[in-house]
Amino acid sequence: MLWYSYSMDKLQEIAKRRKAAHAKLLALDSKVYRAFLNLQEAAFADGALPRKTKELIALGISVVDNCESCMQWHIEQAAQAGASMREVLEAVEVAIEMAGGPATVSARFALEVMDSVFQPPAAGK
């Protein structure tokens, strides 16, 4: 059993809302949103820093900014890029150091998402 107060339903709801907003902005042919997606693609492409490292940097910024949807997205993307739970945790820890006490509050959500990404679902689910 996971230790946190957020339910998997809450995490799924955040992802669902993010995906719906993405689809809506594309359907509305938002030129600004398309430019943002192009910027995102360029920013996270492998270069001198690999995508995994860039996702961990973005995660740290997300913790400092207290953006739950951003934390969820960047933890998931970091994991897909090959980051381990320990690497994700260390990115969260750097954010805590940089922002102090307020980041420990944001970090709680990041820890919850980490549980959902790095731990297999309970048996029978």
Domain ranges within the chain, ordered by starting residue: 8-118
From the CB of residue 49, how many other CB atoms can be counted at a distance below 10 Å? 13
* Rounded Cα–Cα distance for residues 11 and 6 (Å): 7
* pLDDT digit string, tens, across residues 31-90: 999 999 999 999 999 999 999 999 999 999 999 999 999 999 999 999 999 999 999 999
pLDDT (0 to 100) of residue 125: 55
Output 111 or 54, whichever has higher pLDDT: 54
3-state per-residue secondary structure call for the chain? CCCCCCCHHHHHHHHHHHHHHHHHHHHCCCHHHHHHHHHHHHHHCCCCCCHHHHHHHHHHHHHHHCCHHHHHHHHHHHHHCCCCHHHHHHHHHHHHHHHCHHHHHHHHHHHHHHHHHHCCCCCCC
* Rounded Cα–Cα distance for residues 116 and 7 (Å): 10
- CA 103-107-110 angle, to 5 degrees, is 145
**For the residues 6-14, what does the mean pLDDT come to?**
83
**Per CATH, the architecture of 8-118 is what?**
Up-down Bundle (1.20)
Binned at pLDDT 50, 70 and 90, residue 101 comes out as: confident
